[in-house]
Structure formats: C-alpha cells, structure tokens
Amino acid sequence: MVAASALAGAATAQVSAKSDHAEGTLVFERSAATPGDIFLGALKLDLAEGWHVYWKNPGDSGLPPTATWTPSPGVTFGDFRFPAPHAIPLATLMNYGYEHQVVLPFQIQIAAEAEPGTDVPIGGKIEYLICSDICIPEDIDLATTLRIAAAPETDNAGSTLIVGTLPRIPVALTGKATVERTATGFRLAVADPGLASAIGAAKNIRFFPEGPELSNPARQIVKTGPEGVSIDLTASDFAKAGDQNLNGIVVLTDADGAAHGWEIAATPGPAPAGVADTEFINADTSGLAPPPPVAETPPMGFADLMLTLGFAFVGGLVLNLMPCVLPVLTIKAAGLVHTAHDPKVSRAHGIAYLSGVVLCFAAIGAILIALRAAGDQAGLGFQLQYPPVTALFALIMFAVGLNLLGVFEIGGSLMGVGGRLADKGGTSGAFFTGLLAVFVGAPCVGPFMAPAVGVAISQPPIVVMAVFIVIGIGLAAPFVLLSFTPAFAKILPKPGKWMMTFRQALAFPMFLTVLWLLWVLSGQTGADGVIAVLAGAIALAFGIWLAERIGRNMLGKLVAGVVILAAFVVPATATTWSKAEAQVTANAWSPEKVAELQAEGRVIFVDFTARWCVTCQFNKGAIHDASVAKTFSDLDVAFLEADWTNKDKVIAEELAKHGAAGVPLYLVYPAKGGEPKKLDQLLTPGMIETAVRQAAGSL
C-alpha cells in the first residue's frame, strides 16, 4: 500500500490499516472533489491466505462487512455495492463470500455548499467477520481527508482499482426473470440478451439468493438456451408454500475467473422460451457445491455393506413370490423334471438362468448409476411412478395373462420372444427365462423398487451395483437351488395335463395385478388414464386375436402389429396429459353463481365444454396443468364448468350472448367486476395464467 500511495502522488486520500487477518484500504476515484460532486470510493480488503469474508447474504453462517462512517458535515455515504461472490463450501454447509481480495465500492456525495479549498474528513469503523475454519470478528479504523476543489481531480490508482472492480458488480437485468415451483423447490428462468451472450464463455453458472428460501449447499441444475439460463433450485424450510418472488444474482464465471453478475427479481410465471435447451455442466464443481444432501450418507463400513447385501438377498428372494414372476418360475421349475436325470444339464440351466437374472439387474443398476451421474437425482423416484410406465406395465400384465390363458402362444411382443426363447429348453432357453423373469416381474417390482433404489442410490456406484446384483442372485436362488439338487426336482409332480390347468389358473393373479395397477393409475391420472388403458387392453386383445386369425399373410401381420403397437402407445401418451397432484376442480356453472362470485370480488374462469367436443378435451390438458392449478389457488380463482354434453337452454343462451356458436368457450371475469374476457379456442397453460393474472390485477 505504501508503494501504491507513493505512485498515486501526494494528493491521494487513500488510507490503509491492518487487523490480524486482513488489511483494509479506502480508495477514491478523486483526489479532489467539487461541491455537489458524486463519485465512488471503495473499501479494499486484502485477506490472509485461507481466510474469507462474506457477501451480503453470507449463506448458512457468517456476516457481511459493515462500515460505520464518522459523520462528516457535507458528506453522504452510500451502501457497499457487493461484487459477485464465490460459493465457499464448509462440510455440509455453504457460505457466499470472497477469498484473497474484495473491493467494495460505495457512493460518496459532497454537499453543494462545500467550500473549495477546504478538506473534508472521511473515515469510520470497518467491521468484518473473517473466517477460515474458525471465525474472528475484526475491525479497523480508517480516517483520511479529501480536498474540495473548484475542478475535480482524478486519483489514478484509486480510479483504476474501482473501474477494474465494476465489471464484477452485478448489473440490472434488461430481460425477464420468472420463477416456478417444482417438486423440490424452484425453477428460475432468466432471459436476457447480455446474459445470453456471456453463456458461451462461461465455465460456471450459479444463482446466489438474497434471502433464506433456498438450500444453499444443494446442487443447482443449470440449463442454457439462446435466450438465457434456467436453474433448478432446492427450497429450504424458509420457502413459503406456493408461488413467490425470488431475488438474488445469477453469476457467470469465465475461464479466467472473471465473474459477471445480473440482479434477479424473479416473479412467478411460466419460463420464457429458449432458456433451457441444453444441460450446462459447471466446470468447477468443488467450489460450487458439495454433492446434494442425499449423497451425504457416510460410506458404509465392511460390516454394514455385508448386512445391506444380506438384506438385498432376502429382498430378491421375496420377489419370487410375486404373482408376476411366480408363473414363469413354476412352469420352468416343472420343466426341471425333464433334466432331473442329468445333473450336469440341470446345473448348466441353473447357471444360465442365474446369469440372465443377474445381467438384467446389473443393467438396471447401470442405468441408475448413469442417471445419477447425469445429475438426475430427483427424477429417479418419479420415473417409477410415472403414469405412462404404470399404464405400460398394466398392459404388459394383461398380455401375460392372455398368454397364460392360452389365447395366444407366441405373439409379436417381447414377452413372446422371451417366451419362445425360454421355451427352447436349452441352456440359452434358461438364460432367457432369467431375463423374462425380471422383465415380467418389472410391473410388480417397479412401483415398489423406489425405496430400495433410494437407499442404494446414495451409495458409491460399486455398492449400488453390488446391491442390484445381490437382489438378482436372491431372485434366482430358489431355481438355482432346485437345479443343483436333483433330489428336490424329483419331488415335483410329473408334467401332464394339470400343468395346463395350473398355467391357466395363474392368469387370474395377473389380471388382479392389472386391476391393482389400474387402481394406482386412477390415483395418478384419474378416470381418463384408466379408460385409456382399458381401451388399450381391448385394442391389444383385438390385435392378438387378429394375429391369431388372419396373421398368416403379410397384410394381416401388419394390421395386427399396428393395432398392438397402438394399444401400447396410445395409453402411454394419453396418460401423460393429466397430473393428479394439482388438478383444479370445477364447480357447476350458472348465471347466478357467476353473479354471486363477482359480488365476492373473485376472478372467475368459466369452461363451456362437452364430452363430445374433441377440442374441449384437448384443452383440458392445459386447464388441468399443475402450474395453472397453482395460479388458480394462489389468486383464489373460481373455476366454473358449464357442461353442454346434454341439451341445456341456459348454456345455449349464454354461448349465443358471447357470440359463440358452440363449445369450447372460455371466459375470464375480472376481479373488479364487469364484462369477461374471451380466450382463444385452443388453450395453453400460459394463456390461462396470463388471463387470470390480468383479471386479478397482478399483471
């Protein structure tokens, strides 16, 4: 600092002082200021190696630096303007602050009445909490004088430092920032031309919240697009329920470590387009965030690992009792009788079957590890409870049931392929039986695997793999045991007509499984999803029947194939439309009800619909969107439905009144009363939200 002072010349007002772990320096843009002048000063803190001070939001612990200026007549001090901070992880906590050096600019205003030729005192007490692994509150007193002159004079050293710092100070956003609630927190979306143009050079992107509503250590999932960025954030206990604003800064750091910040004041609303096209992988994960909380489980000791694997084995064993797997195994086990006379063949089959099962589970484990590596932490649980998956499982079970009943023997489905290969009877047949057992078992296991997956996924990949492989070994164990012990096989009854009867009887547990999956689906999607799957089941049965009847020529095969494919695809896509967790429920419409709700000062959304109206059904997807439901409940929007499925004079008159020839018609009545706004006939969630927000006066 001595050197810097000397370089700047005698006129500089720069002043320094040291505490135990930092040196603070006050620098100024001017060496002489004029009456009425407004210019920048700055506090520069040079920190001892390994120590840090804090941003205005310190994160999980700490305090930002403060200045208590000594009152000086005619001088007004502004607040510190904090540059973009770093994320500083500490064990399981996260702090936001600065290491090595920080420059905090602030505004200084000289009163118009100041007398040129005089010196004004400038100084005060600077206090900062400075921390390494421990924290020490330190303070310094800085006092200097600034000359008042008729013309301003530049302090070269001071202005160089301050100007050099300004690019780090977050700038106001010229674009748009929105925030939506997600299952685990928030999705922040920022569209801004300046920010978008900086993405190309960015190595790290992070959002620093001003308030406590986020989990600071949680990993932020960043996506980018031509218009800006979107960042998935995890809520803390301080987040309120429902939509809320989110303030803070988005910081882009380039390869040279230069950080640029944008001030964010995000308001609830759908994300702008072009901000979430590609995943953005932060280069510096160490300085950004420790792994998310779920991965913080301490690594297992050897004894713990063995115990867990023991439980995984028991779990796999139990899977044999499932109605989905049992039929496959029983049939196969009965087949053992044929090979019982030759222990060698029998053993080979056992090993092959084991390999098939284990390979399948290893594949599942690998997929999970890959998903985890891709950062899809939260997604894992959801995949297994995803309505289309449930729908597909139900249809597969239905097909398996038909197969057991003998409706078809070898279809075009995977099940049939597996079955055919499994029927081969050779070693390869045994291997495919293993694959089949897992594949057919999946519908039963899937929805219940989530907890086990949740446990395993918090462990290192090698443990995850071990757990899945051992579940597989557990599943294969009874059959392998049978094939290795000919004495057991001899106890089994001889194959015969009873086997056919038994096999057909096993179809009914399958259908019960379908019923159960439909029940699950009804909770996920409501009646629509169930109807879609039942329609799919009929199409499937029809397709199979076609294949059996006329499937001998190419055209027949083609038609049957298309029908069967449609039987799976249509329900799977149909069930994605609706989400049960946040459906809005409508009340019946009547002119009186509208008048009553208008008197209450509520926003009213009216859906004129009919079951036979295809457009109406299509629009239900938008109306029942989760974000619309949230908006409706936040703004206390009354949702009325006028069902014109059957003739109704009152509805017909109302439609005519609004110039509509029929349904659909969507009306939004403003909270302040008066005439409703007519929405387009093809709705999107965004259109509905914008309309009700306008009607509520919040836009």
Distances (CA, A) of 682 to 299, 476, 477: 53, 53, 56
Measured from the CB atom, is 132 or 154 closer to another protein?
A: 132
Nearer to another protein (CB atom), residue 61 or residue 684: 61
CB of 302 to another protein, least distance (A): 12
396 contributes a contact to another protein by CB under 8 A: no
Residue 103 binds to another protein (criterion: CB under 8 A): no
Residues in contact with another protein, counted by CB under 8 A, come to a total of 54
| Shortest reach from residue 541's CB to another protein, in Å | 23
Binding test (CB under 8 A) with another protein, winner from 78, 116, 137, 697: 137
> Applying CB under 8 A, which part among 130-138, 202-210, 245-253, 629-637 lies near another protein?
130-138
Tell me the closest approach of the beta carbon of residue 248 to another protein, in angstroms: 15
Write down the H helix ranges in 31-168: 156-165
Cα–Cα dist 393/636, whole Å: 38
The least CB distance from residue 525 to another protein, in Å, is 16
641-647, long-range: CB within 8 Å, 24+ apart, which pairs?
641/586, 641/587, 641/588, 641/589, 641/606, 641/607, 641/609, 642/588, 642/589, 642/606, 642/607, 642/608, 642/609, 643/588, 643/609, 643/610, 643/611, 644/608, 644/609, 644/610, 644/613, 645/610, 645/611, 645/612
Residue 451 as a binder of another protein (CB under 8 A): the answer is yes
Does residue number 520 form part of the binding site for another protein (CB under 8 A)?
yes
Nearest of 347, 353, 389, 201 to residue 283 by alpha carbon:
201
Looking at 38-46, 132-140, 331-339, 562-570, which segment touches another protein (CB under 8 A)?
132-140
- Among 316, 411, 419, 571, the residue binding another protein under the rule CB under 8 A is 316
Asked if residues 592 and 662 have their Cβ atoms less than 8 Å apart, the reply is: no
Inter-residue contact 99 to 88 (CB < 8 Å): yes
Integer Cα distance of 254 and 98 in angstroms: 17
CB of 236 to another protein, least distance (A): 8
Shortest distance, CB of residue 322 to another protein, whole angstroms?
5
513 binds another protein (CB under 8 A): yes
The letter for the amino acid at 215 is: S
Contacts of 180 (CB under 8 A, 6+ apart): 186, 187, 189, 243, 268, 269, 270, 271, 627
Nearer CB in complex with another protein: 517/572:
517
Closer to another protein at the Cβ: 62 or 83?
A: 62
The torsion defined by the Cα of 87, 89, 90 and 93, in degrees rounded to 10, comes to 90
d(CA 83, CA 692): 39
Token representation of residue 72? 């000086």
User: For the CA atoms of the chain, what is the radius of gyration?
Assistant: 35
Instruction: Restricting to residues 39-68, name those near another protein by CB under 8 A.
Output: 60-63
- The Cα–Cα gap between 434 and 411 comes to 19
Residue 134 in the binding site for another protein (CB under 8 A): yes
Positions in 555-614 near another protein (CB under 8 A): none
Q: Which of 194, 447, 461, 486 binds another protein (CB under 8 A)?
A: 447
Q: Does 448 bind another protein (CB under 8 A)?
A: yes
For 63, the enclosing helix (H) or strand (E) is none
Q: Which is nearer to another protein, 323 or 670 (CB)?
A: 323
Report, in Å, the least distance between residue 308 CB and another protein.
Answer: 6
Q: Decide: is 525 part of the binding site for another protein (CB under 8 A).
A: no
Select from 241, 273, 307, 595 the one that contacts another protein (CB under 8 A): 307
Question: Which positions ≥6 away from 462 have C-beta within 8 Å?
Answer: none
Distance CA 176, CA 172 (A): 11
Q: Which member of 95, 159, 483, 627 binds another protein (CB under 8 A)?
A: 95
Nearer to another protein, 80 or 280 (CB): 80
Q: Which of 91, 172, 410, 562 binds another protein (CB under 8 A)?
A: 91
Nearest distance from residue 382's CB to another protein, in Å?
13
Residues of this chain, 322-361, that bind another protein according to CB under 8 A: 322-323
Point out which span in 76-84, 316-324, 487-495, 605-613 binds another protein (CB under 8 A): 316-324
CA-based angle 38:42:43, to the nearest 5?
A: 150
Residues that bind another protein (CB under 8 A): 60-63, 90-93, 95, 129, 131, 133-137, 212, 236-238, 293, 300-301, 304, 307-308, 311-312, 314-316, 318-319, 321-323, 444-445, 447-452, 454-456, 467, 471, 512-513, 516, 519-520
